[in-house]
Chain A
Amino acid sequence: MESILSNLLLGFQNALSLTNLLWVTIGSFLGTLFGMLPGIGPATGIAILIPLSYGMDPTTALITMCAIYYGAMFGGSIASIMINTPGDASAIVTCWDGYRMAQKGFAGKALATSAIASFVGGMIACVMVVLLAQAAASVALKFGPAEMFALVLFAMTAVVTLAEGKLLRGAVALLIGVMISTIGIDGQSGVFRFTMGIDILQDGIEFLVAIIGCYAIAEVFNGYSELNVVHEIDVKKIGRVMISKEDWKQIWLPIVRSTPVAFFLGCLPGVGGSMTSLIAYTTERQFSKNPEDWGHGDIVGIAAPEAANNASSTASIIPMLAIGIPSSGTTAVMLGALMMLGVQPGPMLFEMRPDVAWGVIASMFIGNIVLVFMNMPMVPYIAKLLALPQKLLIPIIVCLAFMGTYMMNYSTFDFYLLVLFGCLGYVMQKLDIPIPPMVLALILGDTMEKTLRQALVATDGSPAVFLDKPIALVFFALAALSIVYSLYQNRKVERKRKAASLETA
């Protein structure tokens, strides 16, 4: 314990230089700015800013990258809340309650909740990093394809629980999502599937494009029917950033509950903020006393996923630092940039260059704090942007959405996809088909099929491979529970609805 503390102090000493603090601030700011653009997440943000890091000392470079990472996550949340467009996949869940709350006029409160929950979640995760870095890394190793499949299956069943009362339509959405995820080259066999002769589809459909289309563009289409309606927006209320004592009482426990789980999941390769925020959301909803309010602006619905995704992104840096293996696209970019600077992350990092390793951890603390103090004052101004007339906001949002999409893959084909998904999202809304299952199935479907097939190679296709993997079995059990629960809930809601319609008939 003592050596950990002394190492941490060493790290803080390193990190707290004036240059580093300056760069942390710049990084947070730029990261937030980039994160707000639909489709530009931390990975693209860091990649764009790599050239800036050429002359830097490795610790400074890494600190800046962490700041950008956190900033982008917060920026993504801002976009989710303000324009129902997640900045990247980990911010999708925030859209559900965050946007609704903003629509009700409480944008400032939503933003503040997001910032504070992210901060608390991030800080708890930082502490956990300090204490558990090595241990967490070894847990991550226990997750092979079989365990990942079970985990993803569980996440999929958790998604289905969100479609209360419309289970069948939710299933349709889920299936569409998985079907879309199968488009492209099949990794295990090298065969093309459903590419219809279009070369670009070989790489499949980027889920972020589908998300921006279904959320942002479809929302714009919705907005067309209310273009001439003047909204009574209480500008003062929007900007109010305070979280009342009652609010805090509601959210502190969910935050503390969601963070550790998200932390462990975040260490696993391939598990991103999207899965952890989803699991946090659905779990906390079941603990909540008023689950019907969720999806309509419940404050815990923002706090839990936000804490979770910050915790998991903090945790995802661990495999990169401690083992030298990146667990996500963003950390892969960071790894490459670090190596170009002459630092070799991995088991030797903590021994050979503890100044860098602990400097990073210290800078995660600092980055978190700087972000909150810098961004909170900006929140009222950002929130007031909503007061701009819809007619002006819509073109800006659409243009930014297209731009952000372009910067993902530099492909104009994605524009056509945006339009298509916009129409799809609009039609789905008109048919009352829930969109979240489709979106999440799109992200997870790919992984689900992949891991299943990877797991079955060892036994030539026999499901017996799962029998001696306890972690996988646990998640299967959880998945089964999830399905049973959602069937039960669905029955309840449908009965209620029938009763209500018969009552007043």
Chain B
Amino acid sequence: MAMTKNKVTGVGALVVGVLYFFATMNVRTAAVSDPIGPRFFPYILAVCMIFVGLLLVLKKEEVTEKNRAVLFAWPADKEVLARIVYTCVAGFGFGLILDSLGYLISSVLFMTAMMFITYGPGRSFLNISVGLIFGVSTYVVFFELLQVSLPRGILAF
């Protein structure tokens, strides 16, 4: 069975459908509720998902020369995947430090990190300065001018 996009999606759909079905079974029912209840709708969704997943997996497809596009493939360039992973890590990191370090510091760090991802480690000066400029200017505009509440973190102001 070739790894076509349809098949991969189908398998994914089956997995999601089954998981969702089991999760729905764990949903509590309340004493005071409407006649349908909280599980009815999710059950229908799960069944539909499984049904669609089956249709996709069992669909007849021929992979011809012209048809290559239906095959599923990751991007060949490892560097692209690396960049994606770094971005995810940076995003998570931003979330972790924002409340404790405050907006100003976190945003400068995050912006700098992003710049490093796109421009690469060779241009440290550019990366850091853009990070600083961006962080400080957005801070000034939003916090001072517009009184939007941003976390202060460890800074006194």
Tell whether A and B belong to one assembly.
Answer: yes
Which residues on A are within 8 Å of B, measured CB to CB? 48-49, 51, 168-169, 171-172, 175-176, 178-179, 182, 186, 188-194, 217, 220-221, 224-225, 227, 390-392, 394-396, 398-399, 402-403, 406-407, 410, 412-416, 418-419, 422-423, 426, 430-433, 449, 452-454, 456-457, 460-461, 500-501, 504-505
CB < 8 Å neighbour of B34 from A168, A188, A505: A188
Structural contact, B56 and A398, CB atoms closer than 8 A: no
Structural contact, A175 and B49, CB atoms closer than 8 A: yes
> Assuming the A-B contacts A395-B115, A501-B66, A504-B66, are A221 and B84 also in contact, with contact meaning beta carbons closer than 8 angstroms in the complex?
yes
> Assuming the A-B contacts A225-B75, A422-B88, are A399 and B111 also in contact, with contact meaning beta carbons closer than 8 angstroms in the complex?
yes
Q: Which residues of A contact B75 (CB under 8 A)?
A: 225, 430
A-B contact count (CB 8 A): 179
Q: Which residues of A contact B45 (CB under 8 A)?
A: 175, 178-179, 182
Extra pairs beyond A182-B45, A391-B119 (20, CB < 8 Å): A168-B56, A171-B52, A172-B56, A175-B52, A189-B29, A190-B30, A193-B38, A227-B83, A394-B114, A395-B111, A399-B111, A403-B142, A412-B95, A412-B98, A412-B99, A415-B94, A456-B36, A457-B35, A461-B36, A501-B67
Which residues of B in the span 19-70 have a Cβ within 8 Å of any Cβ on A? 20, 23-24, 27-30, 32-38, 41-42, 45, 48-49, 52-53, 55-56, 59, 64-67, 70
Structural contact, A398 and B35, CB atoms closer than 8 A: no
> Assuming the A-B contacts A391-B119, A396-B134, A399-B110, are A189 and B53 also in contact, with contact meaning beta carbons closer than 8 angstroms in the complex?
no
5 pairs, CB–CB < 8 Å, chain A vs chain B: A225-B77, A419-B87, A433-B5, A504-B66, A505-B65
Structural contact, A416 and B38, CB atoms closer than 8 A: no
Structural contact, A176 and B98, CB atoms closer than 8 A: no
B34 to chain A, nearest CB (A): 4
Residue on A nearest B126 in the bound complex, by CB: A392
Residue on B nearest A170 in the bound complex, by CB: B52
Residue on B nearest A196 in the bound complex, by CB: B23
Name, among A178, A186, A410, the residue most crowded by chain B CB atoms within 10 Å (CB to CB). A186
Pairs A-B, 7 closest by C-beta atoms: A415-B95, A395-B114, A461-B35, A189-B33, A189-B30, A391-B118, A419-B91
Structural contact, A191 and B27, CB atoms closer than 8 A: yes
> Assuming the A-B contacts A225-B77, A456-B34, are A169 and B48 also in contact, with contact meaning beta carbons closer than 8 angstroms in the complex?
no
Structural contact, B64 and A501, CB atoms closer than 8 A: yes
Name, among B8, B33, B38, B130, the residue most crowded by chain A CB atoms within 10 Å (CB to CB). B38
Structural contact, B56 and A169, CB atoms closer than 8 A: yes
A466 to chain B, nearest CB (A): 14
Q: Give Cα distance in the complex from A171 to B96, angstroms.
A: 35
Q: Give Cα distance in the complex from A413 to B94, angstroms.
A: 10
Q: Give Cα distance in the complex from A406 to B103, angstroms.
A: 11
Name, among A48, A189, A430, A460, the residue most crowded by chain B CB atoms within 10 Å (CB to CB). A189
CB < 8 Å neighbour of A169 from B9, B16, B84: B9
**Does B138 count as interface, using CB distance less than 8 angstroms?**
yes
Q: Which residues of A contact B73 (CB under 8 A)?
A: 430
Q: Give Cα distance in the complex from A422 to B92, angstroms.
A: 12
> Assuming the A-B contacts A188-B33, A193-B42, A224-B84, are A48 and B16 also in contact, with contact meaning beta carbons closer than 8 angstroms in the complex?
no
Structural contact, A179 and B110, CB atoms closer than 8 A: no
Q: Give Cα distance in the complex from A101 to B107, angstroms.
A: 32
